[in-house]
Structures are given as C-alpha cells and as structure tokens.
Amino acid sequence: MEDVVDVSLSTITDFPDDCLVFIFKRLSCESDRRAFGLTCRKWLEIQNQNCHSLQFDCSSTNFMFPLSGTFHKIDTHELHRILTRFPNLKSLSLSGCTELPDSGLKPLQNYGYTLRALHLDCCFKITDNGLSFLATGCPSLTFISLYRCNVTDTGLETLANGCFGLEAANLSYCSFITDHGIRSLVENCSKLTAIRISHCEQITGVGFQHCSENLAYVEAESCKLKPEGISAIVNGVRLKYLNISSLRWTVCGDGLSVIGGGLGTRLRVLNTRLCQTIRDESVEAIAKGCPSLVEWNLAMCHEVRVGGWESIALNCHNLEKLHVNRCRNLCDRGLQALENGCKKLSTLYMNGCPRVSGFAVDLFRLARGDVIVGEENMELPSDFRAIMYPSC
C-alpha cells in the first residue's frame, strides 16, 4: 500500500502578510477594501497599515470615516485615534473641519512623518501655531492647501523652514499673507513647482524675486500685482502657466508688457481674462516674447483693438486656443487677421462680440472649417491639475 501523506489543513488566516498585502493592493473597489478589513483582526491590521489616503467629509460638523461608513464628530481626540490607526498615511484631507483647533494638528508631530499631501481648506481655526506642528512633524510634505485659513507670514515662514520639500501650495484667500511670506516660501522651498495666491490682496508679487527655478505654475486671480511683481514671477525660467485674470490695479498703461520682455519664452498658457486695461502694446509684446503660447485667454479685454489681434495672428505660431468672449473691440478686421494667421489655432471661444458681424463669422468658418468656435471654457492643464489637486 502507498504511504499515506498527512497534510495539515491550513486556513486563509495562515497566509503570509506579503500575500495579504498583494491582495489588498489590487482591490480597486472601496466596498471590497472595507470587506477585507472585516474578515479578521489580522486582515484589519493589514488594511490599516496599507491605507495611504484618508478624507474627512466635513461639509457640516461631521466627517465620514471611509472604512466603516459611520459618522463621527471631528475633534482632537478623534483625529489622534485615526492617525494612530493609520500610521502610513501619505494624503490627508481635513477640508471643511471648521471647528478643528490648532491643537488638533499636534498629533502630526508624532504621526506625520510619511505624510506628503495635506488639505486644510476652510479650517478657519487653524493659525500659525497649527503650522508649527506641521513644520516639525511633516518633513516629507510636498503639497499643502491652506485655502481660507487664517495664517500669516509668520506661519508660512515656519512652514517653509520645516517643510522645505514643498512642491505645491494653495494659499488662495489667505488674506493675511504678504510678499514677505511668499519670499520665505519661494526662497526656502527650492522644489516649489506650483502656487495659488488668488484673492490674496496684500500680495504684489515682488516676493517672487529669486524664486525657485522650478516654479512652473502660478495662479494669481484677482490679485493686486504690481508690474515689478509680474516681472518677478515671469523671471521663473520654467514658467509654463500664468493666471492673472481680474487683475486689480490701475496704473498709467497696463504694465503687462513685462510678460513678453524676453523671459516668458516657455510660457504655454496665459490667462489675462478681465484685465480690462491690457492694450495693443502689451498684446504685441507678449505675442512676440512668448512664442510657446498654446492657450491665451483675452476674454473681456475691451482695450485690445485691431493692432493687438493682428500681432497675435502674426506672431503666435503655436497658439491652439484663443478666448475672445465679449471683447468689445474685436471687429471684422481683427477676426479676419486671426483667420489668416495662427495656423495651429483649433479652438476660438467667441461670443458676445458686438462689433463682429455674422457675415464675418461665416467667412471665418468657411476659411477655417477646422477651427471650433464655441462658448468659453478654460480648463486647467492636466499636469497642473495633478499637482494642485492630489487625490486623497
């Protein structure tokens, strides 16, 4: 008779950890990941160790705990408990935690070492003290969003000195930040690639002098940038995207010629929407000095006249998208110039231009049938969107 081989029975809980991690990482459905952790204590631990992102749903006073589906009131103790449970987080969103105090961020001093992205949008009680905890506990931080937070230059300087690996920062509506804070950030964070300072009324732009040579994306909508501030921003030799729409100042001349002063050669997307003082002189300088422009938004720039449109047609050889919505001084002659030039133009956003006749539009369509004439729609470049909106 053949020898009987005694095979010991094993269960699924006997799987080695590396096999369980392999399985967990290939579960793309959130419900499957939750079910994984409900199997047993060992599998729950595997789940906790490999959870790299966490997002709180704080549209009111509650947040959603993503693995259990239950709701909790956010406070310092609760956040501490979550951080101890998930020790390897790389991305954390606390956006909307309007009642979270500075002390709520203190656990990050002990558990923030692996954190790379932190969202604090609308955390109104977070101040400079809270940023000091990040500076000492999150040395690996590469992205931070402080949208509408009550932080000042002091906090920004502290953050920059501790998190010098920052690559992107959203400071929109941080009304207490000035050029001094911006200077601290751009001088200490040599890897800084993207920054949003929209609606920061105390920033004139001069703080961008000696900025990181990696700076490629700047959003400064509704700011009071001075000509010398714009010049400092454009000095970034790798600048590819610049949004200065709704520029909020009035000086003699529009002061935007500096964009085309020879340093914007890599600029690909320029948004000057609602810069109502921009004139033909600046348009011509930009058209000549920014040969890499692929998209240019001139919507509601009413002072651009025939000379401006002709300079765009003559010099913007790589332009693919042009926004001219509600430009009062775009006329048939200007449209004809665009028709004859800008050979790579594929999309013209044009509506509400009272001096452009239907006949001129029909002629444009006949001559450039490949060009789409449509409603205004300006999307962020995909690479900029990936930097400024990291998934959580």
CB-based contact 135:159 (threshold 8 Å): yes
| Average pLDDT for 261-268 | 86
Instruction: Say which amino acid occupies 237.
Output: V
Q: Which of 204-213, 217-226, 319-328 has the lowest mean pLDDT?
A: 204-213
What is the band of 13 on the pLDDT scale with cuts at 50, 70, 90? low
Closest CA to 96 of 68, 80, 119: 119
CB-CB neighbours of 271 under 10 Å: 23
| Average pLDDT for 94-107 | 90
| DSSP output for 233-260 | HHT-TT--EEE-TT----BSB---GGGG
Residue linked to tokens 């959580």: 392
Q: Do the strands 91-93 and 53-55 form a parallel or antiparallel pair, or are they unpaired?
A: parallel
What is the band of 253 on the pLDDT scale with cuts at 50, 70, 90? low
What would the two tokens of residue 221 be?
A: 């909508």
| Average pLDDT for 24-43 | 66
Q: How far is CA 131 from the centre of its chain?
A: 20
pLDDT value at residue 67: 39
pLDDT value at residue 217: 95
- Could you tell me how many residues make up the chain? 392
pLDDT value at residue 61: 34
Buried b (16+ CB within 10 A) or exposed e, 77-112: eebbebbebbeebbbbbbbbbeebbbebbbbbeebb
Instruction: Say which amino acid occupies 243.
Output: N
What is the band of 212 on the pLDDT scale with cuts at 50, 70, 90? confident
| Average pLDDT for 21-29 | 65
CB-based contact 273:323 (threshold 8 Å): yes
What is the band of 60 on the pLDDT scale with cuts at 50, 70, 90? very low
The secondary structure of the chain in percent helix, strand, coil, rounded to multiples of 5, reads 35, 10, 55
Greater confidence (154 vs 262) lies with 154
Predicted confidence (pLDDT) per residue in 362-390, tens digit: 999 999 988 888 777 788 778 877 887 77
What is the band of 137 on the pLDDT scale with cuts at 50, 70, 90? very high
Q: Tell me how far apart the alpha carbons of residues 38 and 319 are, in angstroms, rounded to a whole number.
A: 55
What is the band of 262 on the pLDDT scale with cuts at 50, 70, 90? confident
Q: Tell me how far apart the alpha carbons of residues 96 and 60 are, in angstroms, rounded to a whole number.
A: 7
Q: Whole-prediction pTM value?
A: 0.85
CB-based contact 54:30 (threshold 8 Å): no
Q: Which of 65-69, 81-85, 286-290, 294-298 has the lowest mean pLDDT?
A: 65-69
| DSSP output for 21-82 | HHHHHT--SHHHHHHHHTS-HHHHHHHHHT--EEE---SSSEEE-TTT--EEE--HHHHHHH
Question: In 3-state terms, what secondary structure has residue 270?
Answer: strand
What element of type H or E holds 195? strand 194-196
